[in-house]
Amino acid sequence: MTESSATTTTAVAPAAEPMVRVSGLHRSYGTGAAAVHALRGVSFTVPRGELIALKGRSGSGKTTLLNLVGGLDTPDSGQITVDGTDLATLGENGLLALRRDRIGFIFQSFGLLPILTAAENVGVPLRLRRADPREREERVALLLALVGLGDHAAQRPGELSGGQKQRVAIARALANRPALLIADEPTGQLDAETGLAVMELLRAVVRSEGVTALVATHDAQLLGLADRVLELADGHLVEHERAPLP
């Protein structure tokens, strides 16, 4: 058999395919005179391995956009492709699997379970995937070390600082080796110094784990750590600016 090229087709997205491709996205809340047009035709791509910051005033549509890209919400019109998969082709179970296996979420309010230790919180996504317990414990220990919390594994969220809580949340988001991290104002509840440290950690894990990240932030100080900044204003993307080189 010499026609080998005919046998090489696979379902894996080509490396050049962006991690996220969004085109002509619209999302409104409510109807008639009370309707709020949160997104009015948004298009962009997120190249693999990049950290993209999403800025914009309160109400500009950042959370709406992140929820759509993360498969937590569906658009009125437009297309979203994550890691080569058009989200519109996925049913509820497909979206659930995408969120569980391919995307790590990080929120402003951390979202940790208060009765679980740091290690148990990081292990939750692995339990949901029914990972082997030994594999789970090894991965949790590695992730806690990665975020600098190796000595805090047994502490519960109530016994951790805000910055430490967000580090636990970052470790948890990485547990299933996601292709994409989605973070909605991950430093919003932290003081400037702690927020910068958390953003620097995100910057470092994007490099070390080969993950792609889309991060909404109000904080101008953090934008310089991004590979690219997208700005939303009233549901439109207004500029694509290149961050200054370090």
Ligand X SMILES: Nc1ncnc2c1ncn2[C@@H]1O[C@H](COP(=O)(O)OP(=O)(O)OP(=O)(O)O)[C@@H](O)[C@H]1O
Least spacing, CB of residue 214 vs ligand X, in Å: 13
Question: By C-beta, is 50 or 73 nearer to ligand X?
Answer: 73
Sequential DSSP letters for 5-38: GGG---SSPPTTS-SEEEEEEEEEES-GGG-EEE
Contact residues for Mg ion, defined by CB under 5 A: 62-63
Q: Which residues contact 155 (CB under 8 A, 6 or more apart)?
A: 117, 118
Which amino acid makes up residue 101?
D
Furthest-apart CA atoms within the chain: distance in Å: 66
Q: Which of the choices ligand X, Mg ion, none does residue 59 contact, using the CB cut-off of 5 to 8 A by kind? A: ligand X
Least spacing, CB of residue 212 vs ligand X, in Å: 20
Least spacing, CB of residue 190 vs ligand X, in Å: 15
Q: Which of the choices ligand X, Mg ion, none does residue 213 contact, using the CB cut-off of 5 to 8 A by kind? A: none
Contact residues for ligand X, defined by CB under 6 A: 29-30, 36, 38, 56, 58-64
Edge-to-edge strand list for the sheet holding 212-216: 103-107, 180-184, 212-216, 51-55, 228-233, 236-242
Question: By C-beta, is 62 or 136 nearer to ligand X?
Answer: 62
Q: Which of the choices ligand X, Mg ion, none does residue 58 contact, using the CB cut-off of 5 to 8 A by kind? A: ligand X
Least spacing, CB of residue 186 vs Mg ion, in Å: 12
Question: By C-beta, is 54 or 205 nearer to ligand X?
Answer: 54
Question: By C-beta, is 62 or 203 nearer to Mg ion?
Answer: 62
Least spacing, CB of residue 82 vs ligand X, in Å: 19
| CA separation, residue 152 to residues 109, 134, 172 (Å) | 20, 19, 14
Gap between the Cα atoms of 196 and 225, Å rounded: 9
Q: What is the dihedral of CA 97, 209, 75, 91, to 10 degrees?
A: -10
